[in-house]
Structure 1
Amino acid sequence: MFHVDSEVGALKQVILHEPGLAFERLTPGNKDELLFDDVVWVSRAQEEHREFQQVMRDRGVTVHLLHDLLAETVKYEQAVAFILDRILDVRQPHMGPALTRATAGVLADMGPDELATHLLGGLNKRELLEALGEHRTRGARSLGLELMPDDGFVLAPLPNALFTRDTSCWVYDGVSVNPMMMAGRKRETVNYEAIYNFHPMFAESGAHRWIDGEAMAPAAIEGGDVEVIGNGTVLVGLGERTTPAGVEILARRLFRTGSARRVIAVELPKARAYMHLDTVLTMVDRDAFTLFTGLDRRHLRSWTLTPGAHQVPEITENKDFFDAIADALGLDRVRVLQTRQSSYAAEREQWNDGSNLLALSPGTVVAYEVNEMSNRMLEDNGIEVLRIRGDQLGRGRGGPRCMSCPIERDAA
């Protein structure tokens, strides 16, 4: 039922996450720790996200919201036990046995909707104590709780859950539940593991599990670095969030089932501006890719991985990255679309995710309206651009592709 056979084929079903409690808890003082670049006007961000949802629904895409999936998942006791066992650890610096026990009790007593809200939006000391009420002696006194300010987090918020692509990505007939590189995002992985293990929509789907969450750590791979370009080929970016070991493990598992025949890995600068492959390159048509102006296509170093002996991928360095892509797709060449603009304009549009585009069908993409030059360039090259507002959504440095996890997409 669930499969993603291309990057640009007709999109049928997608997982999104509408901003909520986690966004309300972003402040200038905690945004860096929570891996966000700015605070957000929450109600406007929600408006923008609902417009994003509606663009897809208008094109026939079924939208599943992460909060709803998680709330439906934690109706099952085994799912709650699975999550709490993994997110509450006495060894965490602020926890210890007393606070771990008290927090587990409070979360387990919540209804499904409330529990999903706090698994995504965090739980602070005041909320914990209010929930404990007269039962505050349920556990012994906790040093961590004594030292914590009233608005301190027992469970930190997960604002980056907005970017559903990174933590969970479908590759052909299976899903990769990704071990995240940054500590502030690791709990996102547990939520998705629970959804895919226990939600009725997924539990009996029969889909392959390419990567099974934190079991693969410290190797890391994130969905923003993974692009399913079709014809049995996957592109993977090697930047600051995906490791060589992550790429090779994914390739080996894809090759083992025959679900993919080729993985092309490309080196990216290890900097936040190039956080994932889809911040600088996305596929927009069967034969076309948009590439950030600040990258020289001639100097992109890449390797092709193919099935080898003893389940170890064979690795060959490519002479030209885009020639390797064309060969994998059975094309004479691919179009590489870059915006002609000054270095200042290029840097601004990169900041606003001008290359981070979500294809709804071949030659039709969703883009932030603020990237005027990039959008005009795409239209001049025959690409239909569906513009959305992103003044608030974009403050986390992620665009339409980042904010979407396709779970069903046709071949191109």
Structure 2
Amino acid sequence: MTLNDKDFKIDVTSEIGNLRALLIHSPDSGLGKVVPSKAQDWLFEDIVHLDTLRKKEYDYYVKLLLYFLDPDKIKGKLKQLGKDRSFYKPDNKNFHASTKVIELQTLLSDILEETDIRKKLVASVCAIEGCNYRLQLKLIDTPPIELAKIFISGSLNDDEMIFAPIPNLIFSRDLGIAVNNHILLNKPAKKARFRESLLVRYIFFNHPLFVKFRDNILEIPETVQHFLRPGEDTDTKTTLEGGDVMMVSPQHLIIGCSERTSTSGADEAIKLLFENDMVKKVTVVKIPHKRDYMHIDTVFTQVKRDMWVVLHSLAVADKPVKEEGPANWFADKKLKEKPEIVQFRQGKRPKTFDNIEHLLSDISKKDFGSEGDTKFIYSGNNTFPYDAREQWTDSCNLLALKEGVVLGYDRNDKTVEAFKQNGFTIIKVDELLQKFENNELDPQSLTDTLILMPSAELSRARGGFHCMSMPLWREAVV
């Protein structure tokens, strides 16, 4: 079954506009095959209990997304779905197959129906994974639905693994980012994510859903003669991951330089964006290269046009020292532990910001026209040691379904207190879904609400709902 929708479009101009379509990947069997000895190599912080993660956590996420984005698929089905998981499985005939809550595995299965694409993609995957020729021929002859599962899980069947799983595929944000009506594809920092990047490139360039946008898909190039660079130093490689990219307003993009995105990657992205006249300004935010942060969306995300959730200890760092030119702004090793912020504007001199809060206030006022002071909700309510503890479990990594309606983990108690103090309604997702089902509430009527999602297993993977979403279409903020 080919997923298609003539009304679908790519159009993202903010982090908070009403969400209309996004790309996700539901937890697959590969997550249940991560072993402690390889967890860090595969970029997973811990091993998870797969059934709990699926049934008691991620399934709630899918239900909630469908109620907001594609209610015809879910309305009146809550009791039934509690007993039957086939609704969530992309390889099952009862799968929801939404063209608003789009499952990556379905798109992969669709393109593998084409013999030519299947042969090319099998050859590419086998080259990355070092497969022998006979296995390559076997994979070419594998039915598309099964082949998609193999590519993602790394397993031929329940008993035979042929290469590593790609458990980070649930963090679909990192695969790319919609910038207005373009897609900027990622360039991952770690080898463990190379297969993800390859699969997503094939999907965006070959799936009928994106055929109208093929000319609007941009790939980050390597620097000239990159193959002559010495060693494997991450700082010198050209890398960019979606967790470090935020489309904050129609003409303004933020790029983070972090553990996973290099200054070279930011440079190449800026060139692409300006050459294609996609935005007028790009702000580069360099944060410490620490596992504590990893991407900028683990440090701050937007809640409303005049409100952000942030880690206070990192948001108020000292002013950076100015250097010349995009590639050299962040060269001073002495400033390694302090955020540095430079805004590049077409035809104008670069501009610096003292700290993250000053940048976010500037965005709220200049990009959104907000009056008065910008409000900040702090991780752990800015109380030691809960600020760092709760940031580690993604208190700052929230997904806005619409302005002021955000999803977060239920474990970050002090951050929840901070939301309450700022006038937000707090509700658990199971209670909210029941109210939707009973027609006691309408998803579109919600305002200033923090929806708490179960998180015992999901939080072990070190990523929140901002990480687990790749918005493809948001309504404009007016």
CA distance 1:5–1:253, change in 2 (3 Å): same
CA distance in 2, matches of 1:6, 1:77: 38
> Which of 321, 341, 345 is 1:302 aligned to?
341
SS in 1 for 2:149: helix
- Match for residue 342 of structure 1? 383
Does the Cα contact within 8 Å between 1:193 and 1:213 map onto a contact in 2? Answer: no
> Which of 6, 12, 18 is 1:4 aligned to?
12
- Match for residue 43 of structure 1? 51
1:376 aligns with 2:417: yes
**What is the CA deviation profile of residues 132-182 of structure 1, one whole-angstrom value per residue up to 9, with x for unaligned ones?**
xxxxxxxxxxxxxxxxxx96x542110000100001221111111211001
Q: Which amino acid aligns with 1:366?
A: L
SS in 2 for 1:274: coil
CA distance 1:68–1:215, change in 2 (3 Å): farther
- Match for residue 198 of structure 1? 206
Q: Which structure 2 residues correspond to residues 161-176 of structure 1 after superposition, within 5 A?
A: 161-176=169-184
- Match for residue 147 of structure 2? 115
Q: Which structure 2 residues correspond to residues 72-151 of structure 1 after superposition, within 5 A?
A: 72-89=110-127, 95=130, 99-123=131-155
SS in 2 for 1:189: helix
1:25 aligns with 2:33: yes
CA distance in 2, matches of 1:408, 1:106: 38
- Match for residue 290 of structure 1? 309
Does the Cα contact within 8 Å between 2:12 and 2:181 map onto a contact in 1? Answer: yes
- Match for residue 393 of structure 1? 458
CA distance in 2, matches of 1:367, 1:34: 25
> Which of 155, 164, 175 is 1:156 aligned to?
164
Q: Which amino acid aligns with 1:294?
A: S
Does the Cα contact within 8 Å between 2:18 and 2:475 map onto a contact in 1? Answer: yes
1:255, CA displacement in angstroms?
A: 2.1
1:401, CA displacement in angstroms?
A: 0.5
SS in 1 for 2:34: coil
- Match for residue 276 of structure 2? 257
How many positions carry a matched residue from both structures? 378
SS in 2 for 1:252: helix
Runs of 5+ in structure 1 lacking a partner? 131-149
SS in 2 for 1:370: coil
- Match for residue 316 of structure 1? 351
1:210, CA displacement in angstroms?
A: 2.6
Q: TM-score, normalised by structure 2?
A: 0.74
Does the Cα contact within 8 Å between 1:82 and 1:194 map onto a contact in 2? Answer: no
**What is the CA deviation profile of residues 261-311 of structure 1, one whole-angstrom value per residue up to 9, with x for unaligned ones?**
111111111101110011010011112111013324253420001124xxx
1:321, CA displacement in angstroms?
A: 2.6
1:105, CA displacement in angstroms?
A: 0.9
CA distance in 2, matches of 1:51, 1:323: 33
Does the Cα contact within 8 Å between 2:398 and 2:408 map onto a contact in 1? Answer: yes
CA distance in 1, matches of 2:179, 2:262: 18
**What is the CA deviation profile of residues 307-336 of structure 1, one whole-angstrom value per residue up to 9, with x for unaligned ones?**
24xxxx953323443354343444455322
- Match for residue 353 of structure 1? 394
Does the Cα contact within 8 Å between 1:190 and 1:213 map onto a contact in 2? Answer: no
Does the Cα contact within 8 Å between 1:175 and 1:207 map onto a contact in 2? Answer: no
CA distance 1:214–1:25, change in 2 (3 Å): farther
1:251, CA displacement in angstroms?
A: 1.9
> Which of 69, 88, 105 is 1:67 aligned to?
105
Higher alpha-carbon deviation: 169-178 or 187-196: 169-178
Does the Cα contact within 8 Å between 1:266 and 1:321 map onto a contact in 2? Answer: no
CA distance in 2, matches of 1:231, 1:3: 10
CA distance in 2, matches of 1:212, 1:250: 6
Q: Which amino acid aligns with 1:58?
A: Y
**What is the CA deviation profile of residues 182-224 of structure 1, one whole-angstrom value per residue up to 9, with x for unaligned ones?**
1111110011001111111112335612325889984111000
CA distance in 2, matches of 1:388, 1:353: 12
Q: Which amino acid aligns with 1:223?
A: G
**What is the CA deviation profile of residues 349-377 of structure 1, one whole-angstrom value per residue up to 9, with x for unaligned ones?**
11210110000001110111111221231
SS in 2 for 1:69: helix
Runs of 5+ in structure 2 lacking a partner? 1-8, 71-99, 227-236, 319-338, 424-447
- Match for residue 246 of structure 1? 265
**What is the CA deviation profile of residues 227-280 of structure 1, one whole-angstrom value per residue up to 9, with x for unaligned ones?**
111141111111111111211222222222332111111111110111001101
RMSD: 2.4
Percentage of identical aligned residues: 26
CA distance 1:213–1:110, change in 2 (3 Å): farther
1:275 aligns with 2:307: no
SS in 2 for 1:343: coil
> Which of 10, 15, 24 is 1:16 aligned to?
24
CA distance in 1, matches of 2:141, 2:154: 16
- Match for residue 365 of structure 1? 406
1:387, CA displacement in angstroms?
A: 1.1
Q: TM-score, normalised by structure 1?
A: 0.85
Does the Cα contact within 8 Å between 1:367 and 1:375 map onto a contact in 2? Answer: no
